[in-house]
Amino acid sequence: MVMSHTDYAIHERAFKALDSFLIEIPSWGFANTGTRFGKFVQAAAASTIEEKFADAAEVNRLTGVTPRLALHVLWDLPNGLKDVSAVRELERRYGIRSGSINPNLFQDQEYKFGSLCNPDAAIRERALAHVLDCVEIGKALGSRDVSLWMADGSNYPGTQSMRKRIAWLEQALREMHDRLAPNQRLLVEYKPFEPAFYHTDIADWGMANHFARHAGPQAFVLVDTGHHYQGQNIEQIVAWLLHSGMLGGFHFNDRRYADDDLTLGSIDPYQIFRIFHEIHCAQYEGLKLDIAYMIDQSHNLKGKVEAMVQTVVTAQELYLKAVLVDRERLAQLQQSCSLVAAEELYRGAFWTDVRPLAREWREARGLPADPLAALAESGYVERIAREREKRNTAVSSYA
Ligand code: RM4
Ligand code: MN
Ligand code: MN
């Protein structure tokens, strides 16, 4: 194939972008999950942290861009700091590092009326002790981000003081921030509803932004793409966070109705493209960015390793499409308010089939050209299904 100068330039840009685009995958994406009506058990699902590391290593072998595994404390380190050395051993054995540390402030009975925002000071203390433990776990594992999501909120109007809860949370997050090592970050995630249905204590990016700023300079906002109301302009939120230097990272997934945790790009790939466009634009304009790209999905019905590989490949494709936008030309068209031409340029990049380019990059980096096909050929899923089947037969029901 003869390549023009433009082709070369596009190749270079695309390869550079893919080289620097690492994606963190979640340990819980390999485990059996379900809906609030029940769990669907898969023979190949991971039920130990070792199995989660093994699955993460397989995804990384196939895609080459997922060297870190996000851990959910209590699910993955039920004994807290005491489990760190075992995790370190798994890191060595599987060649996968621990990623973000996720406190668990929602599964214990004490948290029925909240954790860091509970009216009972003793329960707030307990929750604070847990997040401080998580900071220490992050230090011990050499993992940079502690990403905080809370289920706190209330179900009925008038039953809680929203303002008192703001003050309690401000104080807790500041104490947590004080304990961070210089290289650690606190990421504050927001979510408008579920499990609380009247108010949640960090409902949107404005509140997350407030809490992060109040906590201190090492705190940033975490955008989970599934945590917005229908029709919300997420790329505008991203643009604001970029502008103000408050964008810490993403939890990627897709949704149709609520926090559905579906595969990235399965419902609305254009949404993710628009987010990536804002990020590439900011980079092009010289902003220094440090964004954690993380997946947060539950593969209830799909095979888990397959779904994870599919997600990573989709993320790369959408990232690449957004790289293709000719930013200099777009800036001119925006300046002259050439609406149709600007829109066509933007959408043209989205419609471009970047799969051949991604394939070439994989081949150049010694990775399987088609990771999903390579997974099917490897027999990995069949093997783990055989090995794990017995332990995975217990069915759990909702009631
Ligand atoms: C929440 C939120 C958190 C995740 C939990 C499991 O909805 O997205 O990030 O850790 O789910
Ligand atoms: Mn999330
Ligand atoms: Mn969620």
The Cα-based distances of 317 to 23, 150, 240, 276 in angstroms read 13, 32, 24, 11
pLDDT attached to residue 72: 98
Which residues are registered as beta bridge partners of 38?
35, 397
CA distance 386 to 389: 5
Q: Which residues contact 365 (CB under 8 A, 6 or more apart)?
A: 19, 64
Residue type, 232: Q
Tokens of 65: 């861009």
Judged by its nearest atom, the ligand closest to the C-alpha of residue 101 is 1
Tokens of 288: 């220094």
CA distance 322 to 149: 29
- Distance (angstroms) between ligand 2 centre and the Cα of 40 equals 21
This prediction has a pTM of: 0.97
How does pLDDT run along the chain (399 residues), one tens digit per residue? 566 777 888 899 999 999 999 999 999 999 998 888 888 899 999 999 999 999 999 999 999 999 999 999 999 999 999 999 999 999 999 999 999 999 999 999 999 999 999 999 999 999 999 999 999 999 999 999 999 999 999 999 999 999 999 999 999 999 999 999 999 999 999 999 999 999 999 999 999 999 999 999 999 999 999 999 999 999 999 999 999 999 999 999 999 999 999 999 999 999 999 999 999 999 999 999 999 999 999 999 999 999 999 999 999 999 999 999 999 999 999 999 999 999 999 999 999 999 999 999 999 999 999 999 999 999 999 999 999 999 887 666 555
Residue type, 28: W
pLDDT attached to residue 391: 87
pLDDT attached to residue 389: 94
- Distance (angstroms) between ligand 3 centre and the Cα of 96 equals 24
Q: Which residues contact 394 (CB under 8 A, 6 or more apart)?
A: 41
Judged by its nearest atom, the ligand closest to the C-alpha of residue 26 is 1
Give the position, in ligand 1's atom list, of the atom nearest the Cα of 189.
9
- Distance (angstroms) between ligand 3 centre and the Cα of 344 equals 33
- Distance (angstroms) between ligand 3 centre and the Cα of 194 equals 9
Residue 203's SS3 state is coil
**Using a 6 Å cutoff on CB, does residue 224 contact ligand 1?**
yes
**Using a 6 Å cutoff on CB, does residue 189 contact ligand 1?**
yes
Name the DSSP class of 279: H
**Using a 6 Å cutoff on CB, does residue 149 contact ligand 1?**
yes
- Ligand 3 (ion): residues with CB under 5 Å are 259
pLDDT attached to residue 36: 86
